[in-house]
């Protein structure tokens, strides 16, 4: 009788361990997925910020100058032939604008200038 109860205890313990391992791995994978989604969303927001700044310059007309700031992070932002591209270690995010310029944006201060000679970012 003692041997049978020990075997039953071991079987129940192993079954509970398997259920626990599956549950923990499920939530760990969900956590990784949500972190990746949040980081991609933050890069989409950076892309949208640059787009909004360039579109605001076009809608305001000549004699427009405004500084905007890109947040610190490990990414590269560039504008090339109407495409704004934010590249990061996990991939890249793109959005489009009316501005037909080529420029690598710097993290920190950038200035949009729209005057009689055209649109510039420095």
Query: According to the model, what pLDDT value does residue 108 have?
Result: 92
Query: According to the model, what pLDDT value does residue 120 have?
Result: 87
Domain ranges of the chain: 2-121
Interior/surface letters 27-63, b for 16+ CB within 10 angstroms, e for the rest? eeeeeeeeeeeebbeebeebbebbbebbeebeeeeee
| pTM, rounded to two decimals | 0.69
Contact, 94 vs 85, CB < 8 A? yes
Query: According to the model, what pLDDT value does residue 45 have?
Result: 93
Query: According to the model, what pLDDT value does residue 52 have?
Result: 94
Distance CA 98, CA 103 (A): 14
Which segments of the chain have a pLDDT < 70?
Answer: 1-3, 27-38
């Amino acid at each position: 009788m003692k041997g049978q109860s020990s075997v039953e205890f071991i079987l129940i313990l192993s079954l509970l361990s398997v259920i626990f391992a599956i549950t923990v791995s499920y939530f760990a994978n969900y956590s990784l997925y949500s972190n990746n989604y949040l980081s991609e969303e933050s890069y989409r927001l950076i892309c949208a910020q640059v787009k909004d700044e360039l579109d605001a310059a076009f809608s305001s007309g000549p004699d427009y100058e405004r500084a905007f700031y890109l947040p610190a992070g490990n990414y590269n932002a560039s504008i090339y032939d109407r495409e704004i591209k934010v590249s990061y270690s996990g991939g890249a995010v793109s959005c489009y604008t009316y501005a037909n310029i080529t420029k690598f944006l710097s993290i920190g201060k950038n200035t949009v200038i729209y005057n009689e000679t055209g649109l510039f970012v420095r």
